[in-house]
Amino acid sequence: MKLRQIRKAARKFAALTAGAAAIGAAAVANPAWAQPPQTLTPIQHLVVIFQENVSFDHYFATYPYAANTDGSTFDPVKYPPRTPTVNGLGTLVEGEPSGVLLTANPNTYNGARSNPFRLSHSQASTCDQDHNYGAEQSAFDFGLMDNFPATTGSGNCGGFDYGHGNAIAMGYFDGNTVTALWNYAQRYAMSDNSFGTTFGPSTPGALNLIAGTTYGAKIVTGSSPKVVAANPTTGIGTLVGDLDPAGDPCSGGTTISMTGANIGDLLNAKGVSWGWFEGGFNLNAVNQNGTTGCNRSSPATPANGGPMQDYIPHHQPFQYFASTQNLNHTRPSVSPALYGTSADTGANHQYGLQDLYAAMQAGNLPAVTFVKAPGWGDGHAGYSDPVLEQAFLVNFINALEKSKFWMNTAIIINYDDSDGWYDHQMNPIVNSSAVTNSVNQGQYGDNLTGTGKCGNGAPTLTDDQGNPIQGRCGYGPRLVFMAISPWAKQNFVDHTMTDQSSIIRFIEDNWGLPRIGNGSYDAIAGSIANMFEFSYRDNAAPLILDPNTGN
């Protein structure tokens, strides 16, 4: 693509609006596959690494100022111009906290002030916090952001609260532990104004990533209060918690299916190659410890107390939709050179993580690639941690940066939810909801602006028939969002308001797809275009890091 064409495409991309027509059922029928369509920007390969359970402040509270006591040193003037600060909690001056949110925070625990505190590299393994839909809203306390220890804090995991009890929810890491992510941030682009599309745990976040909605859930086996505002005739409602996909042999307990379209349907309709590659999805593989099938496992954190399954069914969003699922985990029917294309009818775009490495070795990287780490490497507190996560991220990103695909690729690192970790930034309420649910102290109901209410309670987003969809209070907590690419702005912090469905919007705009419709947040999502400079490559040389140290 010539420079003049690139600049023209950049101007056109920046001018795009969210006015694309909604897609109906007829629009997602698969046509005959043709040559890969042209992209609107120089990005011909988008790789989305979707990690687990990290609020923005939990990883970047004092960026770019680190304590520099755990073996890593971060210099705020490493890259010219000076590394910008973020909307965080404050700074560390010679290792000491500086800033009112660090020294006089409004959160309390056991009647005393509960200030945020730094977790050291040796404290990487922590408890998993409460990150239910209602609990997270209660932590926000009408926007005061001062109720985290009482509502999401969880220190009950064998001493891994490091003496803080439920106030462990106020803990944060700096660049001495999340070393690689801080290095990527200094070299490439990150956002300090990106949010979860809605409140809630992993499955809602995963569904928002690919469909921009958690509406369309129908219970198939069992019963659960996690599907709210269900239609009494169809049984279709909104998912606000973690439930496994129906029909997956690794699923357990109550299971659901999802109706409607997702981004995979739109990509299929346009003939764009894509794939979801997840650790543990290949049930035929055998790990070094002899485990296989749904029980494939790997060593996890001390807080977990033992091995952790590699494949977690409720982390695989495409399994919920009939059009994109591969319930039996069927292995690819073609050579790796064709993974992600319509030729691979067996796998239906759903693969194991090693299949992605095989595809790249065969000279193939789908246009849109979703990457899900095995459990040990996804960053989820309790069974993973920042150090294990770093090893996974760096090894994969190094491989991609060394590949022939690097020069026209963008890597997005995003997270499914905040895990209930403290973040000081109140979310903008772009979609209201009014769900009253007394189960488990309202864990599955709205609690943000009053009992049974988020905002004014009247949803802005409606289905294609104009019916309001409840149970989608959003945006949710602020999350980490990073762009790693030769086209990413260097040493840049973006303040554009975005959310998980902004990734869908980029895919739709870049490959000329319509919006999903049926109340998907993609219709109102902010653009991530400001994280890139499409008129020239600002970061052509790859940044290769050590997976063990992050340096």
- Identify the three-state secondary structure at position 207: helix
Name the more confident of 339 and 8: 339
Mean pLDDT on 361-384: 98
Q: Tell me which residue has tokens 């687990």.
A: 52
Mean pLDDT of 237-250: 98
**Structure tokens that stand for 38 in this block:** 């042209």
Instruction: State percent of the chain over pLDDT 70.
Output: 93
C-alpha of 438 from chain center: 28
Are the beta carbons of 339 and 275 closer than 8 angstroms? yes
For residue 7, pLDDT beyond 60 = no
Q: Is pLDDT at 9 greater than 50 in this prediction?
A: no
pLDDT of residue 446: 96
Bigger pLDDT: 161 or 3?
A: 161
Contact 280/522 with Cβ under 8 angstroms?
Answer: no
Tell the CATH topology of 56-187. Answer: Alkaline Phosphatase, subunit A (3.40.720)
Three-class DSSP category at 144: coil
Q: How far apart are CA 65 and CA 112, in angstroms?
A: 27
Nearest CA-CA partner of 44 in 491, 368, 436: 368
Secondary structure letter of residue 381 according to DSSP: B
What are the domain boundaries of the chain? 3-52+193-212+241-417+479-531, 56-187
Cross-strand bridge partners of residue 75 = none
More confident residue, 116 or 538: 116
Is the pLDDT reported for residue 155 higher than 50?
A: yes
Sequence-distant (6+) residues with CB within 8 A of 150 are: 108, 109, 139, 166
Nearest to 139 by CA among 228, 51, 229, 57: 57
4: CB partners within 8 A, 6+ apart = none
**Contact yes or no for 468/459 (Cβ under 8 A):** yes
Q: Mean per-residue pLDDT for 320-334?
A: 97
pLDDT at 24 over 70: no
Question: pLDDT by residue (tens digit) across 505-520?
Answer: 999 999 999 999 999 9
Q: Over the stretch 409-463, which tens digit does the pLDDT of each residue have?
A: 999 999 999 999 999 999 999 999 999 987 776 899 999 999 899 999 999 999 9
pLDDT tens digits along 247-271: 999 999 999 999 999 999 999 999 9
Portion of the chain with pLDDT greater than 90, in percent: 86
Mean per-residue pLDDT over the chain, rounded? 92
Average pLDDT over residues 299-308: 93
pLDDT, position 36: 58
**What is residue 13's predicted lDDT score, i.e. its pLDDT?**
40
Residue 37 has a pLDDT of: 66
pLDDT band at 76 (very low <50, low <70, confident <90, very high): confident
The answer to whether 473 and 199 have CB atoms below 8 angstroms apart is yes
Q: 192 with 60: CB under 8 angstroms?
A: yes
* Rounded Cα gap, residues 310 and 299, in angstroms: 10
Beta strand ranges found along 331-473 (DSSP E): 350-352, 368-372, 409-415
Q: 213-222, 529-538, 541-550: lowest mean pLDDT where?
A: 529-538
3-class DSSP state of 411: strand
For range 171-194, the mean pLDDT: 97
Confidence at residue 95, expressed as pLDDT on a 0 to 100 scale: 80
**What are the pLDDT digits (tens) for 123-134?**
999 999 999 999
pLDDT band at 20 (very low <50, low <70, confident <90, very high): very low
Residue 225, judged by CB atoms within 10 A of its CB (0-12, 13-18, 19+), counts as middle
pTM confidence score:
0.93
